[in-house]
Amino acid sequence: MKNNLADRRAERHWTQADLAAALGVSRQTVISIEREKFDPSLPLAFQIARTFDCRIEDIFIAD
């Protein structure tokens, strides 16, 4: 699943570690999502959307 998480994170000048801390997951999890090697669970996707004040489909785009 494609996503623009890295762009959104960069807009806020957050590091991957900052985002990982905000989401309560490991930095490897953020790296894997940004590289589109790991599709987050639905609760985590909702949490990511809440963190960036947008909808899930604004961040994640189905292939």
Interface residue list for other proteins (CB under 8 A)? 23-26, 28-29, 31-33, 35, 37-38, 40-41, 43-44
Distances (CA, A) of 6 to 39, 41: 14, 18
Report residue 26: phi and psi, to 5°.
-80, 160
DSSP state of 33: H
Q: Which is nearer to other proteins, 2 or 11 (CB)?
A: 2
The minimum distance between CB 58 and other proteins, in angstroms, equals 20
Q: Which is nearer to other proteins, 11 or 17 (CB)?
A: 17
